[in-house]
Structure 1
Amino acid sequence: MTEPTPGHRPRAALAMSPDAAAAVLDAESLTDLAALCDLAPLPVLDDLTTTRARTVLADVDLLVTGWGCPPLDADVLRAAPRLRAVVHTAGSVRGHVTDACWDRGIEVSSAAAANAVPVAEYTLAMILLTGKRVLETARDYRASRTRPDWLSTPRTVGNHRRTVGVLSASLIGRRVIELLRPHDVEVLLHDPFVDEAGAAELGVRSVGLAELFRRSDTVSVHTPLLPATRGLVGRELIDTMRPDAVLINTARGAVLDQDALADAALAGRIRAVLDVTDPEVLPPGHPLWQCDNVLLTPHLAGSQGNEWRRLAGLALSEIARWASGEGFLHPVRRERLAFLA
C-alpha cells in the first residue's frame, strides 16, 4: 500500500457508534483531528451500507474507528477504493478489521497500548487489596462496627514476598509486570512464546502453566481469547491453587471454567476478582453472584471517563505520524493476530 505523501491532508471519516464517538472524542480531540485531516462531517458512520456512508467512503484515505464500528468487509472496501489506513481508538481490532483489509494491504493501528494502562492499574490495585484482604475486612468491619485485633492477623495476609503469577506477557501482562517491580513480590510468568531469556529481560521467572497455578498466591490472567485459550484455566488448574489464593481475570470470561471457579470459591478454598465473565453479564441465578469470595466488576478495568482522552491522544499521534509519512508507532500486523486479544 502506498504511503501518504508528506504534507498531503488525508480525507478521513469516523466509523463507530455515536456513543463511542461522544465518549472518546471530545471537542478538543475533534479539533485536533480536523487539523490533521479533511474530516468528513458528522454524524459518524455506524452503518456502512447507507447511501450517505457509501458517498463518504468513496473519498476516504483513512478511517478512524472505535467501539461499534461495523465489519470492514470486502463489500465495504469496494465502496472505499482510496482507503489506505485504519486507526482504531480502542483496543482489539478483531471485531471490524477483516481478512479483506489485510488482503488489500490496508495499514492498521490500535490504541491497545493506551487501553492497557488502566487495565494494568486495576490489576495492580486488586493484587495489593486482595493481598491485604481489604475487601473482606472492610465488609466484616461494617457488619461488626468493631476494630479487629490486628496483632492476631494471620501471616498469610499481606503483600511482603507474595508470589504473583502472570498468565501471558501480553501488552497488559507486561504492563502489570512493570507496575509490580517496586513491590516486594516474586513474579512468575507463563507464556509459551516467551523463553527463559525473554522472561529474565522482563525481570520475572518463566514457569510452566501448572507450576504457575500451584505456586502463586495470586494468579492474574491476561491471555487473549483464542481457540487455544478457551477454557484454558480449567478445573484441574483451579483445584491446584493454594488455599486462599486469588484468581484475577481482566482478559476474557471464556478463558476460565466458571463452574469450576464457582465450586472452589463457594467451598472457601480460593478467592477471585472477575472484571469479565461469560456471558458478559451473568444470569441472575448464577452462583458467582452469591459468593462472598468473589468480587464481580462490570468490565470497568479498561478505559473509562477521563482515561478515554488517552485513547484519543494515541490515535491522534498515530494519524499525525501516518499523514507525515513516518508510519505507525503502534501497528497491528496480520501475522501477530494469533497473539492478540
Structure 2
Amino acid sequence: MTDNSLARRPQVWISVPPQDIEGLPDAFSYVYWDGTGDFPADPADAVFYVVPYMKGPTAGALPLPRMTGVRVVQTLSAGVDHIAPHLHQLPPGVRLCNARGVHEASTAELTLALILASLRGIPRFVRGQDAEEWHSGFYPALADRTVLVVGYGSIGEAVEDRLVPFECEVLRVARGARTSPRGPVHALSDLPELLPRADVVVLTTPLTAQTRGLADAGFLARMKDGALLVNVARGPVVDTEALLVETEKGRLTAALDVTDPEPLPPGHPLWHAPGVLVSPHVGGSTSAFMPRARRLIRSQLVRFAAGEPLDNVVATS
C-alpha cells in the first residue's frame, strides 16, 4: 500500500494509539493526538475526531475551529460540557457523541465506595490508624436506608444495580418522568417532595443549564437532618458555598468525587469541612476505562465507515 493511497483516505484523529485497537476499519487513515504538543496533521483534513480524555477543560477543544471537514466528534467522557459550547465553531450537521457505556461500571463502583465509606466512618478509621486511636462504636449502615438517585440515566441505573444487594430503597429522578424495569422515575420537579425522604442523595446528572447549581441552598435545606450528599456528576451541579454552610453546621455530610472549583486548591474549606470526603475526580479513570473506550471507538468507526447510524449522539451542530 503506497503512502499516497493512505493520504487519500479520510482522516481520523484518535486519542488512543490506533495500534492498540483491534478491528479498526481500513477505510481511514489514523492520526494519533493525545491533547498535548503540536497538532500532528492539519485539523482541516479530519472527518472524525476522538477527543482526548482527562486533558483538562480546554485541550480537547483546541483543534475544533480548524476542523472544517469534521463530521463526528466523539468524546471519551460521559459528559460533553467541555465540548458542547464549541459546537458553533463546527460546520453544520456535525454529530457530537458521548461515551455512554464506558464509565458506568467504574463510576458506579466509586459511588458505592463513597456511600459506604462515609456511612461506616472509614475516613475516621484511617485517621485513627494514623494516630493509633481506636474509634469503636455504632455507625450508620446502608441497609434500610433510602437512596435518591438524581440523574437516572445509564450511570444512575448502574448505581442502582450495585445498591440492590444492600437492602435499601431506591428513588429515581430524571429530567422527565417515566417508568423503568425497577419502578417509577420521577421528574426533576418532584425533588421538593422526594428530598426529605432520602438518607442518601446521589447526583449523577450531566452538567447542563438546567442542572448547574441544582443542589443549591433550597435543595440542601430540603434534605433531612443527617443525610449524605454524594456527587459523582460535575462540581458545578452543587453550590459549594451552600454545601459548606450545611456541613459546617453538621446537619449534612457529603462525599464528593467532583468539586467546584476543580481541582480543589490548597486551603479551600472543603478539604477540612466536617463530614466531607473528597476524592480527586476518579470516577471514570480506572482499569475498566480503556477496554470499554477501545470498544466504543471501534464500534463507532465501523458504523461511520458503513454509513450506519452512530450510537450516543447527544447533539448536532
* Shorter-chain TM-score above 0.5: yes
Once the two structures are superposed, the pairs formed by residues 47-196 of structure 1 within 5 Å of their partners are 53-54=41-42, 57-58=44-45, 60-67=46-53, 68-70=59-61, 76-78=66-68, 80=69, 83-96=70-83, 98-100=86-88, 104-140=92-128, 142-146=130-134, 148-149=136-137, 153=138, 157-195=140-178
> How far does residue 327 in structure 1 lie from its aligned partner after superposition?
2.6
Distance 1:95 1:264, change over 3 A: closer
1:308 partnered with 2:299: no
Shift of 1:94: 4.2
**For 2:229, what is the secondary structure of its paired residue?**
strand
Alignment match, 1:206: 186
Distance 1:328 1:253, change over 3 A: same
Match of 1:39 in 2: 29
TM-aligned CA distance change 1:13 to 1:134, over 3 Å: same
Deviations 1:233-266 (A, max 9, x none): 1123223322321111111111112112112212
- Tell me if structure 1 keeps the 8 A contact 2:125–2:135: no
SS state of the match for residue 78, structure 2?
A: coil
Deviation at 1:14, TM superposition (A): 1.8
Unaligned stretches of 5+ in structure 1? 1-8, 16-20, 336-341
Q: TM-score, normalised by structure 1?
A: 0.75
Cα deviation, 1:16-47, whole Å, max 9, x if unaligned, reads xxxxx3xx447422x643x5443245556768
SS across alignment from 2:165: coil
Where does residue 5 of structure 1 map in the other structure?
none
Q: What is the number of equivalent residue pairs in this alignment?
A: 302
Structure 1 residues 37 and 306, CA, compared in 2 at 3 Å: closer, same or farther? farther
Structure 1 residue 295 displacement after superposition: 0.8
Alpha-carbon deviations, 1:137-160, whole Å to 9, x = none? 4434554543625xxx26xx1122
Change in Cα spacing, 1:69 to 1:236, as seen in structure 2 (3 Å) is closer
The answer to whether 1:294 aligns with 2:276 is yes
* 2: CA distance, partners of 1:172 / 1:267: 31
Measured at CA, do residues 38 and 122 of structure 1 come closer, stay the same or move farther in structure 2, by a change above 3 Å?
same
CA distance in 2, matches of 1:205, 1:241: 19
1:265 aligns with 2:247: yes
In the alignment, which residue of structure 1 is the partner of 2:4?
A: none
Query: Is 1:102–1:334's contact at 8 Å kept on the other side of the alignment?
Result: no
Corresponding residue for residue 275 of structure 1: 257
Give the conservation status (yes or no) of the 8 Å contact 2:67–2:90. no
Shift of 1:305: 4.4
- Over 3 Å counting, the alpha-carbon distance change for 1:14 and 1:90 in structure 2 is farther
Aligned-residue offset at 1:278: 1.2
Q: CA deviation at 1:283?
A: 3.6
In 2, Cα distance between equivalents of 1:311 and 1:334: 22
- Cα distance in 1 for partners of 2:135, 2:309 equals 58
- 2:103 maps to a residue whose letter is N
CA distance in 1 between counterparts of 2:310 and 2:17 reads 20
Give SS of 2:260's match. Answer: coil
Cα distance change of structure 1 residues 140 and 292 upon mapping to structure 2, 3 Å threshold: farther
Q: Give the root-mean-square deviation of aligned CA atoms.
A: 3.2
- TM-score when normalising by structure 2: 0.80
SS at match of 2:149: strand
**Within 5 A, what are the aligned runs for 1:321-332?**
321-332=303-314
- Higher helix proportion: 1
CA distance in 1, matches of 2:182, 2:205: 17
Q: Which shifted more, 230-239 or 324-333?
A: 324-333
Indicate conservation of the 8 Å contact 2:10/2:47, yes or no.
Answer: yes
Q: Is the 8 A contact 1:141 1:147 kept in 2?
A: no
* In 2: Cα distance, 1:44 partner to 1:265 partner: 39
Contact 1:167 1:191 in 2 (8 A): yes
Q: Secondary structure at the match of 1:146?
A: coil
